[in-house]
Amino acid sequence: MTIETVSTNRSFGGTQGVYRHASAQTGTPMVFSVFVPDHAPGAKLPVVWYLSGLTCTHANVTEKGEFRRACAELGLIFVAPDTSPRGDEVPDDEAYDFGKGAGFYVDATEAPWAANFRMRSYIETELPEIVAANFPADMARQGIMGHSMGGHGALTISLRNPGRFRATSAFAPIVSPLNCPWGEKALGGYLGADRSAWRQYDACALIEDGARVPDLLVDQGGADNFLKDQLKPELLEAACAKAGIPLTLGMREGYDHSYYFISTFMEPHLRWHHERLTR
């Protein structure tokens, strides 16, 4: 579990680092970023996980997410993993929405993807151990958020691991891969044609099947090009209403799918997490 420091930069009274390690799950080197606010010696800080969307690496949110100011103020560690294994030996697809940059936070079962595309286990098991061992992280106080495909990741990982995350939120998440073209392609490709195997990777299906979280915060841009065909927040709204999960859904008129949207609502999301992580 040795990690290599790629870079550190002082920012907003904390340290923004980028790290690399050999992942047993993906069989590849993996890069992730961690922001650690200055803190008292020996103190452990709550952790917020941020899962990124299609085509992204750790770098997009690290450069454009505008999370450091609020994390420094609130004393939150912010962890941003990559979205897939990388490297010349890793199988890929020409499309932006499958293969590298599009791991969909699943453990693939289909060839040739199964060997490396194990982003579920990487995020659920391997990376948390690395974060706990290398950073002043209070693993009893974790929150998780994500954007688009990473919103799907945040919702499904939280729903499958009851009690681990005290706060769960998303920006423009894919709420039901079973019911959108991105999900059909990715889950079909990684998991095969048996759609019953997909349900553990579908936030709405998980809720239908009994999974619960205390509450959810979702923001969604009203001018998001993917709103109608891919994201469909109304499906999550219906599932939460039926299950009695309190969902705060902010429809943000005029906002699109970009980091101009995410950065705008990052601070309120972090405050929402902080409130739940410090109760």
- State which of residues 41, 210, 244, 254 lies at the interface with a copy of itself (CB under 8 A): 254
Assess 41 for contact with a copy of itself (CB under 8 A): no
Residue 159 contacts residue 186 (beta carbons within 8 Å): no
Of 140 and 251, which has the nearer Cβ to a copy of itself? 251
For the record, the structure tokens of 25 come out as 């799950």
Q: Would you count residue 16 as binding a copy of itself (CB under 8 A)?
A: yes
Q: With binding defined as CB under 8 A, does residue 269 bind a copy of itself?
A: no
Asked if 222 contacts 255 with a C-beta cutoff of 8 angstroms, the reply is yes
Residue 257 appears among annotated catalytic residues? yes
Total residues found in the chain within this entry: 279
Token reading at 61: 């949110």
**Residue 122 near residue 82 (C-beta atoms within 8 A):** no
Interface with a copy of itself by CB under 8 A: which range of 49-57, 85-93, 108-116, 252-260?
252-260
d(CA 176, CA 193): 16
Q: Does residue 68 bind a copy of itself (CB under 8 A)?
A: yes
User: Which of 5, 6, 9, 209 is in the footprint of a copy of itself by CB under 8 A?
Assistant: 9
Q: Residue 12 in 3-state DSSP? A: coil
> 30, 261, 270, 272: which one contacts a copy of itself (CB under 8 A)?
261
Tell me how far, at minimum, the Cβ of 158 lies from a copy of itself, in Å: 27
Name the catalytic one among 82, 97, 202, 224: 224
Is 58 one of the catalytic residues? no
| C-alpha dist (Å) from residue 202 to 32, 155, 179 | 25, 9, 9
* 63 interacts with a copy of itself by CB under 8 A: yes
- Asked whether 261 and 172 are in contact (CB, 8 A), the reply is yes
CA dist., res. 186 & res. 181, Å (int): 9
Q: Does 263 bind a copy of itself (CB under 8 A)?
A: yes
Rule CB under 8 A: say whether 133 interacts with a copy of itself: no
How many beta carbons lie within 10 A of that of residue 23, not counting itself? Answer: 22
Q: Which residues contact a copy of itself (rule: CB under 8 A)?
A: 9-13, 16, 63-64, 66, 68-69, 221, 223, 252, 254-256, 258-261, 263-264, 267
